Amino acid sequence: MICSEYSMHIYIYFFFFLNHSGIIIVYDVTDRDSFNNVKNWIIEIEKYASEDVQKILIGNKIDLKNDRSVSYEEGKELAESCNIQFLETSAKISHNVEQAFKTMAYEIKNKSQLENQQKGRANINLNAKPIKDNKKKCC
């Protein structure tokens, strides 16, 4: 039974992380255990996700200043040691929530453009005006 549960967890991790462009890792700044588990999640992500997946670390619940047990500096240091972006947010007061998603989208877009350039693919500008055909048409 333990083996099958373990195998199921492996399958869930693999399925969850497979073919994703970005993963947002969130911990609660008022809960030291949630912060301590971030390293385990990063290990799992590196094990099962594609190696070029974009990651961002988010410390949430910064509105609870009196209950804080993880400092900004600790979160920033962990993110830097893992070479990933870092932000602090408060979903309750909507602080930096939109910025977190914009940061992730920006990182994914830049990664995609870099890969296209390396593979010799042209980037498509959806706002570009169509090229006019100067050839004379019959009739």
Give per-residue pLDDT as tens, 39-57.
988 888 888 777 778 889 9
- Picking from 48, 42, 40, the residue whose alpha carbon sits closest to that of residue 17 is 48
Q: What is the mean pLDDT of the chain?
A: 78
Give the mean model confidence (pLDDT) for residues 122-135: 60
Rounded CA gap, 100 and 15, in Å? 24
pLDDT at 124: 59
Q: What is the pLDDT of residue 57?
A: 94
Tokens of 120: 């010799």
Domains in the chain, CATH or no CATH each: 2-118 (3.40.50.300)
Long-range contacts of range 13-21, CB-CB < 8 Å, 24 or more positions apart? Answer: 13/44, 13/47, 13/48, 14/48, 16/48, 17/44, 17/45, 17/48, 17/49, 17/50, 17/53, 18/48, 18/49, 18/50, 19/50, 20/49, 20/50, 20/53, 21/53, 21/54, 21/108, 21/111, 21/112
